[in-house]
Structure 1
Amino acid sequence: MTVSVTLFVLAVISISFILLGIGVFTTPVVLEAVRKHANQRRLWAVTWSDVRIPVPYRPFPKDLRPGVTGQVERTTLMLRDPATWRDLQWLLIDMTVGAVVAFLGAALMIYPVEGLVLAAGLWRVFRDDPYWYGFVPVDSQATAFAALALGIVLFHVGLWASRPLLRLHFSLARTVLAPTRDEELAQRVERLTETRHEAVDTAAAELRRIERDLHDGAQARLVAMGMNLGTIEALIEKDPAQAKKLLAMARESSAEALTELRDLSGASTRRSSPSVVSATRSRRWRCGCRSPPR
């Protein structure tokens, strides 16, 4: 609770100082601390109560500029991210309602210790003026044992209620921190767009590679073979022996060109089969666009 209060106050002050220029430098630092605090709570939620809270923060662009301009861009991007404002709402709820829920679970486990101490003899301090332990007025050893019995009951209630209260605490955090369905859909569309751009870039690079390999290899051999065939036509009657040599060279060139075409086709097929298809399916599955790959 103390951390949430501190971060909330710092965030409000830092955002307020943006107009003065100071907040441009402090806001990203404070909001990063808020995100780390929220991510730590997400980790506790899934570890202790199996409550999964998505991490909806928008990634920063890779070409973010350095210096003051970059700080302004970073601050603007963080303030435009809806997850930032959900984090601040969560801080406000965590230090109020969330703190009450957490304190209730802790109190049910700690309060019975007081009943044990009273039964051990501390009740004598309150002999003249009864001390109320819950609804039990403790002014004798008998009432001290009654307080102990009540403490044992409360302890067992605390053991029983601690897990539901903890889950309630994290479920409350998920209600605020988790993105809405519209935001999830927008993120999926954005990821799908990025995946599509990657696929288009990969396909374009592959086409350029094929074009380059054809130009440098098979195409050059086919051109040379065509020139040899033209020479053979001119020499077939005048110099049959030379024409025969050129014909053999043309045959070798055609075989080499065919081999290069097969190698090129095989390499292209390997690049676009199982691994690439599986990766594409996995990306689409993570985006929620289709069922997971089998």
Structure 2
Amino acid sequence: MAAGAREATGPRLRPGFPGRLLALGHALALFGLLLAGAVLLALLAAPVILAALGLGQFLKYQLNHGLAFDGQDARDLFALLLGLACCRLVLPAALLATRRLAMLTRRLSARWCGVAIAAAYAPKPVPATAGSRHLGYQQRMSWLLNDVSTWRDTAWLVVNLVVGWVLLLAPVMMVGFGVITFLVPGSAAVPGMHGVSRWATPPAFPGNTPTVLLAIGVALVALGVATGPVALRGYGGLARLVLTPSREAELALRVEQLAQTRRETLDTGAAELRRIERD
């Protein structure tokens, strides 16, 4: 992919109360991406861990029991082979999916959080096999694993899973807590809504009258709605901190892209000359 241009400022968040409510919906949507990233992280780690455990147990059993082959060896060897098979089948797809998820996070960060994030990925190499449209396993893995941006995207999955959910769910949970714990029991103070108050038990503390509960609930909901855009900006800043490539990486990628374009132009020109000579 081409390097994304840095932008000094991203799009402004939608102002007003509707925009603040929309920010809560965007936070929930980004939390859905966080869960998808957790699944991808498990797919990336599981084959490597399975293969490493199978190999470790197999070698340990061989060292402790000689070169005999029995049922325990068969199970360890099966785990090793299964892990290697998953590494071959799952890892390339999971790495590419991680890249697509990171690119989607960049787009949504600019659109929803007002934080633009640049991208700098190594270009996809030409298939080594003549006439083939797909990369081989070794060439694909070399392309992905030698690209620093791949490791940056993987690090984002970890940081997002550890820290990102706090920024995304804090305002949403504040609104939900205020509604369920305080507004619903406090609705008894509103004429005609006494029946709604029976849906939730009021919290036990001194002076928990319906009027007090209603006031606390309104304050919590208002605080959650007000902090939604702030949490989104913080989330976008966290994503930019992890996903933005260094200036040196962008320049190196640009040089590599120009060199590859030059090579392709020379190859095309040489092929055209050979065609003219044959004609």
Q: TM-score range by the shorter chain?
A: 0.5 to 0.7
Q: CA deviation at 1:34?
A: 1.3
For normalisation by structure 1, the TM-score amounts to 0.58
Aligned to 1:118: 185
> How far apart in 1 are the matches of 2:217 and 2:185?
10
Is the 1:24–1:72 Cα contact (8 Å) retained in structure 2? no
Q: Residues of 1 paired with 2:200 and 2:222: CA distance?
A: 27
Amino acid at match of 2:164: G
- Partner-residue secondary structure (3-state), 2:117: coil
Which position in structure 1 is the counterpart of 2:142? 76
For 2:109, give the aligned amino acid. Answer: A
Counterpart contact for 2:185–2:210, Cα < 8 Å = yes
State whether structure 2 residue 237 is matched by structure 1 residue 171: yes
Asked which structure has the greater CA Rg, the reply is 1
2:203 pairs with one of 126, 131, 135: 131
Is the deviation greater in 21-30 or in 63-72? 63-72
State the TM-score, normalized to the length of structure 2.
0.61
**Residue 9 (str. 1) matches residue 75 (str. 2):** no
Question: Are the structure 2 counterparts of residues 125 and 38 from structure 1 closer, same or farther at C-alpha, using a change threshold of 3 Å?
Answer: closer
CA distance in 1, matches of 2:264, 2:134: 31
Corresponding residue number in structure 1 for 2:72 = none
C-alpha separation between the residues in 2 aligned to 1:184 and 1:25?
31
Q: 2: distance between equivalents of 1:125 and 1:191? A: 61
Contact 1:131 1:138 in 2 (8 A): no
1:54 aligns to what SS in structure 2?
coil
Tell me by how many angstroms 1:54 deviates.
Answer: 2.1
Specify which structure has the bigger relative contact order, considering alpha-carbon pairs within 8 angstroms and separated by 6 or more residues. 2
Alignment of 1:272-283 (within 5 A): none
Task: Tell me how far 1:87 sits from its aligned partner.
Answer: 1.3
Q: Give the Å deviation of 1:200.
A: 6.4
Note if 1:54 corresponds to 2:123: no
Cα deviation for residue 63 of structure 1 reads: 2.3
Q: 1:248 is matched with which residue?
A: none
Within 5 Å, give how 1:224-263 maps onto structure 2: none
- 1:93 is matched by which residue type in structure 2? V
Residue number in structure 2 paired with 1:100: 166
- Secondary structure at the counterpart of residue 136 of structure 2: helix
Please say if residues 113 and 235 of structure 2, whose CA atoms lie closer than 8 Å, have aligned partners that are also in contact: no
1:8-67 Cα distance to aligned partner (Å, 9 max, x none): 111112345498532122211111121222222122111112212223221221224469
**In the TM superposition, what whole-angstrom CA distance separates every residue of 1:225-281 from its partner, at most 9, and x where no partner exists?**
xxxxxxxxxxxxxxxxxxxxxxxxxxxxxxxxxxxxxxxxxxxxxxxxxxxxxxxxx
Q: Which residue of 1 aligns with 2:215?
A: 149
Measure how far apart 1:205 and its partner are: 9.6
Aligned residues with identical type, % of pairs: 32
The answer as to whether partners of 2:106 and 2:117 remain within 8 angstroms in 1 is yes
Q: Pick from 87, 98, 108: which aligns with 1:34?
A: 98
Q: SS where residue 99 of structure 1 aligns?
A: helix
Following superposition, the deviation at residue 100 of structure 1 comes to 0.9
Does the CA-based 8 Å contact 1:108-1:158 persist in structure 2?
Answer: yes
Aligned residue in 1 for 2:227: 161
CA distance in 2, matches of 1:138, 1:64: 75
**Aligned Cα root-mean-square deviation (Å):** 3.3
Q: What's the CA shift string for 1:50-86, capped at 9, x where partnerless?
A: 2122232212212244699811211122111111111
Number of residues of Structure 1 aligned to a counterpart in Structure 2: 200
Does the 8 A contact of 2:183 with 2:214 survive in 1? yes
In 2: Cα distance, 1:97 partner to 1:60 partner: 32
Q: 1:131 aligns to what SS in structure 2? A: coil
1:91 match: 157
Q: Give the residue type in structure 2 aligned to 1:41.
A: T
C-alpha displacement of 1:92: 0.7
Q: Deviations for 1:141-197, whole angstroms, at most 9, x for unmatched residues?
A: xx2221211221222222221111101112101111111122112112222334555
CA distance in 1, matches of 2:199, 2:150: 55
Report the secondary structure of 1:57's partner residue.
coil
In 2, Cα distance between the equivalents of 1:152 and 1:120? 11
1:146/1:2 CA distance change after superposition, 3 Å: same
Pair 165,68 (structure 1): closer, same or farther in 2 beyond 3 Å: closer
CA distance in 2, matches of 1:67, 1:188: 24
